[in-house]
Structure 1
Amino acid sequence: MSGLLCLCRQGFEPELAGELTARAGTAGFYGYARTQRNDGYVVFACDQAEALDRALPWRGLIFARQKLRILAELPQLDHADRITPIIAALDGQARFGDVWVEHPDSDAGKPLAGLARSFGNALRPALRKAGLLTDKPNERYPRLHVVFIAGTHAFVAVADTRDSAPWALGIPRLKLLPEAPSRSALKLDEALLTLMTPEERQALVMPGMRAADLGAAPGGWTWVLTRQHLHVTSVDNGPLRQHVLDTGLVEHLRADGFHWKPEQPLDWMVCDMVEQPRRVAERMATWIREGWCRHTIFNLKLPMKKRWDETALCLDLFAEQAGKPLDIRAKQLYHDREEITVLATPRQR
């Protein structure tokens, strides 16, 4: 088996399959997607898996929580001994810096969590004895993944630690703090964590910067920005939670966030308004084109059908109408539902 294994949100397998097929074709690779709805993963079979892996960086994939290169598929594992065939499948491989034993985040996959934990504890010493695993986790080496999709069916795969999600299952473990005005705060927290590198976050989200939050009520995204010590103009006809206003960093304007514009250019604009995705894409492009903000994070609420097609259309529309060279990244985050989250920043020369 040669190709990529990508984990995704349950129910979005067709969107990920469509994205992988389109992006592989654009990059000049032939292959085909193999999946079933609600599996929580997609296999993209390709004879040039290593080259394809390099051509499709994880941060550039929208519907993939995790991206792995398949080393072997083992569909008939013996309950009595799963370790021996995995070690055999790794014959000729160099050492790995860590091993993660995982499962898809799906109805069928979640019951495998206990197996994954216990099997990982048994597999690590066996890999070290075979000279296939460093004594301690080491990010300078590739990371080995064993992904169980059933008790006797697993994929053995590898990830470049610089080009993959740094969290098991591709899911960052974020805790909703009691003072968060809404669960939507987790979306912006995850967006800042996922769509930017640590170096980019340090350079692009700096204390004292000025931002606008369109459709802010009850204040979840505004609250996240104030925790980064940004000054925020929160635009919404609805009320904000009082403790958000009490930060001293927030100006609340009771206005229609979709039509409001700032008097002076801002560093950031964020938007999580419920609107047609094409309309949102066009409005966000206006903000960039007119210079009202330098950076933006916004959500696009997707339709029930042809979600990959609508995603591609909206991102192309945004890029075209923005009229400036931008670095555009988009992800369906763990805390998103029928939506994707988009980051756009000026392209670095």
Structure 2
Amino acid sequence: MNTLFMHCRPGFEGEVCSEISDHAARLNVAGYAKAKPQSACAEFICHEPEGPQRLMRELRFAELIFPRQWARGEFVPLPESDRIGVLLEHLSNLPTCSSVWLEVLDTNDGKELSTFCRKFEVPLRKALIKAGKLQEDGNGPRLLLTFKSGREVFVGLADADNSAMWPMGIPRLKFPREAPSRSTLKLEEAWHHFIPRDQWDARLNGDMTGVDLGAAPGGWTYQLVRRGMLVTAIDNGPMAESLMDTGLVQHLMADGFTFKPKQTVDWMVCDIVEKPARNAALLETWLGEGLCREAVVNLKLPMKQRYAEVRRLLDRIADGFKARGVKVSIGCKQLYHDREEVTCHLRRLDMKPRPSH
């Protein structure tokens, strides 16, 4: 059990290796990261057997930027027949689990394996329960089985409250037909990731106001309107008529980088395609000057040194708030619906929430 296995977006294996190596060095966990390009996964091989467990105990998965899922464990070869028997034998030395997820990698080969996993899951689940290795009302870890093929599986464990919310870290969000663009799913996923579901009614409600910078045609505005907010949409391009017909949207033809609201709004969201440093500066201004209480902004990534650049920008933003003397929580994640970008969520912690009616 000396391997920490992580899923990621294909093409970002190097970023996962850089990020986990950075944390491991800080926590004095000896080991090395490895990954194959476009494999949609990476491994951190620890020199000590307890290394992966230490990393998972010291780190909060939700605060990692590039990994979509993680588990501690090892690869197990599977025969053509009696795969369940081999797995049960391997699991005999592991604790009883509270749930089991069968996962595949986000590759073409992985998509083909998903059919096998669907057929395999029911008999496996029954066998695990019969063997006493799965107790679904228990408090044991989650069993994560990542199939690289029908002949090889990574048998891993992760705490349900410190791993991905969805299998492989891929949310099952349905695209709303009335939304003007597919980018709407980016903001919906961001809310799922950064805001606990039981806080949505308090932090995303119809008593609130929002600003969408670079709004047209309105994919992100749609999510704000869906929650009943009054929205100021800033863009020189046209907004979808369906959004304007709601009566909740004011469209201003203005520059998203120079616009400022006359009074504090609850939410600022921005998906402008621009250099990441410029969008990061926008975040510092809006939160630092108290123009909004919370914000979701995408940072487009450079071609190289992507983790290092994101880390540098996040540190710069944090230093800017510290210099201003304001308290802001900062989260950053490459979401499933992101491409060459990461999504940042910021929240002012020293501003009283506006009372709801």
TM-score with structure 2 length normalisation? 0.92
Identify the residue that residue 65 of structure 1 maps to in structure 2.
68
* Residue number in structure 1 paired with 2:23: 23
User: Equivalent residues in 2 for 1:9-158 (5 A)?
Assistant: 9-46=9-46, 47=48, 48-70=51-73, 72-74=74-76, 76-134=77-135, 137-138=136-137, 140-158=139-157
Task: Compute the displacement of 1:257 (Å).
Answer: 0.7
Amino acid at match of 2:258: H
Report 1:252-263 matches (<5 A). 252-263=251-262
* Aligned position for 1:329: 331
CA contact under 8 A between 1:3 and 1:49: conserved in structure 2?
A: yes
- Tell me the distance in 1 between the aligned counterparts of 2:285 and 2:31: 38
**CA deviation vs aligned residue, 1:11-45 (integer Å, no higher than 9, x gap):** 11111111111122223322211211111111112
Deviations along 1:185-218, whole A, 9 cap, x unmatched?
0100111011222134333223211111000000
Q: TM-score, normalised by structure 1?
A: 0.94
Q: Which moved more, 1:116-125 or 1:248-257?
A: 116-125
CA contact (8 A) 2:95 2:140 kept: no
Task: Report the Cα offset of residue 256 of structure 1.
Answer: 0.5
Could you tell me how far apart the structure 2 residues matched to 1:320 and 1:85 are? 52
| 1:348 Cα offset (Å) | 7.9
> 2-side partners of 1:68 and 1:27: how far apart?
18
For residues 41 and 347 of structure 1, the distance between their equivalents in structure 2, rounded to whole angstroms, comes to 35
1:156 and 1:138 map into 2 onto residues whose CA distance is 21
Which residue type is aligned with residue 122 of structure 2?
N
SS at 1:298 equivalent: strand
1:206-242 Cα distance to aligned partner (Å, 9 max, x none): 3211111000000110110011111111111111011
Equivalent position amino acid for 2:66 in 1: F
How many angstroms apart in 1 are the aligned matches of 2:138 and 2:170?
18
DSSP 3-state at the match of 2:133? coil
Flag the 1:228–1:34 CA change in 2: closer, same or farther, 3 A: same
- Distance in 1, matches of 2:108 and 2:317, equals 35
Query: What aligned pairs does 1:263-342 form with structure 2 within 5 A after superposition?
Result: 263-322=262-321, 323=324, 324-342=326-344
Gaps of 5+ in 2: 352-357
Deviations 1:294-343 (A, max 9, x none): 11100000011111111111111222223422221111111110000010
Shift of 1:273: 0.2
2:168 is aligned with 1:169: yes
Distance 1:98 1:155, change over 3 A: same
In 1, distance between residues paired with 2:12 and 2:200?
28
The 1:139/1:300 distance shift into structure 2, 3 A limit, reads farther
Mapped partners of 1:77, 1:227: distance in 2: 48
**What is the SS of the residue equivalent to 1:267?**
strand
- Residues 287 and 347 in structure 2, CA contact (< 8 A), matched pair in contact too: no
3-state DSSP of counterpart to 1:162: helix
The 2-side partners of 1:348 and 1:21 are apart by 33
Amino acid at match of 2:240: R
Matches of 1:206 and 1:24, distance apart in 2: 40
* Matched-pair contact (CA < 8 Å) for 1:286–1:321: no
Letter in 2 for 1:333: L
* 1:139/1:161 contact within 8 Å kept: no
> Counterpart in 2 of 1:185?
184
**Cα distance in structure 1, aligned partners of 2:10 and 2:138:** 29
SS at match of 1:108: helix
* Secondary structure in 1 matching 2:171: coil
2:108 partner SS: coil
Q: Which moved more, 1:159-168 or 1:278-287?
A: 159-168
| Over 4 Å off, 4+ runs | none
Q: Partners in 2 of 1:28 and 1:210 — Cα distance? A: 45
2:246 & 2:138 partners in 1: Cα distance?
Answer: 39
Q: Is the contact made by 1:78 and 1:152 (CA closer than 8 Å) also made in structure 2?
A: yes
Task: Tell me the distance in 1 between the aligned counterparts of 2:120 and 2:258.
Answer: 55
User: How many Å apart are 1:347 and its aligned residue?
Assistant: 4.1
Q: CA deviation at 1:276?
A: 0.1
Report if the CA contact (8 A) 1:301-1:338 is conserved.
Answer: yes
2:308 alignment partner AA: D
| Alpha carbons of structure 1 residues 218 and 160: separation in structure 2 relative to 1, 3 Å | same
* One-letter identity of the residue aligned with 2:246: T
SS at match of 1:109: helix
How far apart are the structure 1 equivalents of 2:53 and 2:281? 37
The code of the aligned residue for 1:180 comes to: A
Q: Number of residue pairs matched?
A: 345
Percent identity, aligned pairs only, is 43
State how far apart, in whole Å, the 1-side matches of 2:219 and 2:275 are. 21
Distance 1:285 1:59, change over 3 A: same
